Each structure stands twice: as C-alpha cells, then as structure tokens.
Amino acid sequence: MAYDNAEQLEEFRLETRKWLEENCPPSMRTPMPDDELVWGGRSAVFKNAESKVWLDRMGEKGWTSPEWPKEYGGGGLSRAEARVLEQELRRIKARPPLFSFGLWMFGPALLEFGNHEQKLRFIPDILKGKTRWCQGYSEPGAGSDLAGLQTRCEDKGDHYLINGQKVWTSYADKADWIFCLVRTDTSTKHEGISFILFDMKSPGVEARPIQLISGESPFCETFFTDVKVPKDQLVGKVNGGWEIAKRLLQFERSSISAGGFGGTGGSGILGPEDYAKQHIGTDESGRLTDGDLRGRITDHKMYAKAFSLTVQRQTEQAKAGQAVGHTASILKYAAAKMNQDRHELLIEALGTEGLGWEGEGFDKGAKKVTRQWLRSKGNSIEGGTSEINLNVIAKRVLGLKEHQ
C-alpha cells in the first residue's frame, strides 16, 4: 500500500502503535541479555518463552523484514512505512525479534537472483525464523582470494554431487541450511562458480567448531563428502554464482559495519576512559593523569564519533538518492580499525585487571574484555580483509588502475 500523504502515514503510525501495544510482550521491551538472543531455526532455543511469542507475531506479519514483498510473506511496507515501524519499535524499546543470516545476507540475495519457486520455498521460513541459514564461502585455500574456491559440484544428471571443505562457516553446527559457493567448472576461475543451497542434515555433511585465540567461537570447519543436492536448489545460472556472491558480500559488509562491531559502545558499556579513571585516576581538573593514554583515548573516541556521523550521513544520502558507491567497503574498513583500537585501549586501561583468562580473581566484565580484545583481531580479516577493502576503494571508488 502506498501512502501519498502525511495524514495516511500518521494513520499507519497509530495502527502500528496500537498493534505493538497489544502484541509486544512486556519482557520484549526490556534490554536483552546476551543469552536471550534468538537465532530461530528447527532447533531454536527460547530461554524466555515470550521471545517465541514475539517472533511468531512479528514473523506472521512479515515485520521481521518489513519491506520484503507480501507475496513471499514479507511486510510489503513502503520505505516511509518501514521507517515509521522502526520508530515505533524504538519508541517502546522493543527487542529485535530475530537475528538471522537469512534476513541480513541470504534473503536479500535470493530476492534479487532466485526464481519464483525458490523464493516461495525459502523466504517465508526466513521471515518466520523457522530456518536458520549459514554461509559456505571461505575455504582453506580460498580466503581473500575467494574465487579460488575448489569445492566441487558435479552434475550427475538428476542431482548435483558436492565434495570439498569450507572454513569459517559461522554456526554451521547450529544451522539448518547452507548457501554455498561451489565450483561447477574447473577450466576458468570466476566464471566457474555456482551458488547452491542444501540442507545441513544431508548425508555427507559434517561441521566441527573451531577454537580461536579468544576461546570458543561460532566458526566451524565444514566437510562435504558426496553430498547429493536436488537440481532445483541451484540459484541463478550454472557458473553464474560469482555475481550473486559479490552482491551478498555487500550485504554482509553492510550488516557488519552498520553495527560497527558494537565498537561505538552503547549505553551501559564501559569505555576505555571509564576503566582508565578507575584504574589510573584523574587530577583535580578531572583529566586522566596519564596524559599520553588520555590523548590516544580521545583520538579513538573522535574516530568513533566521526564513524557514527558517517553512517548517519550515508544513510541520509542514500535515502535522498545521493549514495556514494561502495560505502560498505569504506565503513567495513573504518569499523574494523575502530573496534580494534577500542579494545587495545580497553585492555591497556585495565592493566593487570585485563589479563585474566578464566576462574576467580578477576572481574567478570574485565574477563569479557580480554576475550573481546582477542576476538576483535578478526575484525580486519572476516567479511573481507582490510587490505581487500582498501583494494575495492582504490579501484572501484577512486578509479586507480590495475598493475599491468
């Protein structure tokens, strides 16, 4: 439905407000503890029963992705209406009903490249949180050079047969389905890649969690041995997967950088200046006594502020039709630097308090910082390394030429 005037939009606001009043359970309007985050899927865990009620109601309306078409179970809202919904959700401090790679990455790509039957089959379950998706991209021999991937996909007449290995597959051990890049032609590079979907319960699929320098992680190594995949589960054309892959990477980089890896620090999260005040102290004028650290903290905080202003500016410009190309790479690069700088400063300000690994004798929050400090090192590697993002900016935005 298109609203052509402010009055009708206001009517939509009132209806939405009423619906949210009646349908958003009370505990869903409180800050969300980490362990109540909902990823959905066949084996979804709802620590808080109201999380399920909230997800079911929002999913039913298609409001887990309000702008997706109604035809496939989406909210079918216009940009203006979706903005009203966002504002109303913010107004009551509603929790996001669903965290999902399906919503953020796979769904937008399928809507763009999938056929009608594929959309009908997969999109509604993404919206309702019934299927949890994981991403099969990187391989042991194909990281930054993603197009060098070797996982074989052979045409066996009435099905495809997949053999190979993926790595850094987030939540592969918990996901129901995988969207996966496979090689359908070994004689060329980019033009020999296809984009295929299959059930993680298929015989021959095995996922093993990876231990990181920061401890447990959602990442897995994923092995495929003679996995049979029906032919209608290949998206787009055979050997036409690279285009889809690149588009999906943009969605991925945007969703990573939009949150700035959480690096701007929300309310209630202690920043390096708070730990520095606590463990180092201030002089009579309120300045941190370690002037050098104070300067570096300020540098970082200014960077973080400039980053969040840039996200705001680019959002406004995109809405006004003045978007800068490849903003995802710009923000992804900046977000990684910002979050890593922040954690270096946090760990420095904590001093020996930040050096605990586990057990007694250390503050729980500080131990979390220690792990996050180590985890943040991956920010400039995952979802496209900082170097790859700089290449994208140099070549696609600045128009610098390839080396001959």
Partner 1 sequence: MSFILTEDQDMLRETALSFVAGELPVSHLRALRDKGANGNDAATRKKLAELGFFGVIIPDEPGADTFGLVGLGQILEAQGRTLAATPLLQTALIAASALQLGGTPAQKAEWLPKIAAGEATFALALDESAHFSPYSVATEAERNGQGFTLNGLKKYVPDAHYADMLVVAARTFGEAGDRHGISLFLVPRGAKGVGIQTLNTVDSHGAAHVSLDDVHVPASALLGPADEGADILDPVLDRAAIGLAAEMLGSAQAAFDMTLEYLNNRKQFGQLIGSFQSLQHRAAKMFVELEMIRSCVAAALSAADAGKSDVAELASLAKAKAGELAHLVSNECVQMHGGIGMTDAAEPGFFMKRARVQEALYGSASWHRDRYAKLNGY
Using DSSP, state whether 113 is helix, strand or coil: helix
Options 252, 273, 348, 353, the catalytic residue: 252
Rounded to whole angstroms, how far apart are CA atoms 179 and 111?
Answer: 14
State the nearest-atom distance from the C-beta of 286 to partner 1, in Å: 7
Of the candidates 203, 190, 195, 189, which has an alpha carbon nearest to the alpha carbon of residue 136? Answer: 195
Residue 25 to residues 17, 30, 69, 88, 142, Cα–Cα distance (Å): 14, 10, 26, 15, 45
Please identify, using beta-carbon distances, which residue of 206 and 290 lies nearer to partner 1: 290
State the nearest-atom distance from the C-beta of 356 to partner 1, in Å: 24
Please identify, using beta-carbon distances, which residue of 213 and 306 lies nearer to partner 1: 306
State the nearest-atom distance from the C-beta of 383 to partner 1, in Å: 16
Please identify, using beta-carbon distances, which residue of 48 and 327 lies nearer to partner 1: 327
Please identify, using beta-carbon distances, which residue of 182 and 288 lies nearer to partner 1: 288
139, two tokens = 């391989």
Neighbouring CB atoms inside 10 A of 64's CB total: 25
Phi-psi region of 239 (alpha: psi -120 to 50; beta: other; left: phi over 0): left
Please identify, using beta-carbon distances, which residue of 61 and 337 lies nearer to partner 1: 337
Beta bridge partners of 177: 133, 199
Neighbouring CB atoms inside 10 A of 152's CB total: 15
Q: Which residues of 261-295 are buried (b: 16+ CB within 10 A; e: fewer)?
A: bebbbeeeebbbbebbbebeeeeeeeebebeebbe
In sequence order, what are the residues at sequence separation of 6 or more whose Cβ sits closer than 8 angstroms to the Cβ of residue 96?
none
State the nearest-atom distance from the C-beta of 390 to partner 1, in Å: 4
- One DSSP character per residue, 1-14 reads ----SHHHHHHHHH
Question: Cβ-count burial of 82 within 10 angstroms (0-12 exposed, 13-18 middle, 19+ buried)?
Answer: middle
State the nearest-atom distance from the C-beta of 144 to partner 1, in Å: 13
State the nearest-atom distance from the C-beta of 7 to partner 1, in Å: 24
Rounded to whole angstroms, how far apart are CA atoms 171 and 316?
Answer: 33
Binding site for partner 1 (CB under 8 A): 273, 276-277, 282, 285-288, 294-295, 297-299, 301-303, 305-307, 309-310, 312-313, 316-317, 320, 322, 324, 330, 333-334, 387, 389-391, 393-395, 397-404
**Parallel, antiparallel or unpaired: strands 177-183 and 159-170:** unpaired
State the nearest-atom distance from the C-beta of 280 to partner 1, in Å: 10
User: Do residues 349 and 272 make contact, with C-beta atoms less than 8 angstroms apart?
Assistant: yes
In sequence order, what are the residues at sequence separation of 6 or more whose Cβ sits closer than 8 angstroms to the Cβ of residue 389?
253, 329, 330, 332, 333
Using DSSP, state whether 193 is helix, strand or coil: strand
State the nearest-atom distance from the C-beta of 272 to partner 1, in Å: 9
Please identify, using beta-carbon distances, which residue of 186 and 404 lies nearer to partner 1: 404
Catalytic residue flag (residue 112): no
Please identify, using beta-carbon distances, which residue of 27 and 386 lies nearer to partner 1: 386
Please identify, using beta-carbon distances, which residue of 154 and 299 lies nearer to partner 1: 299
Site of tokens 């295929």? 196
Catalytic residue list: 252
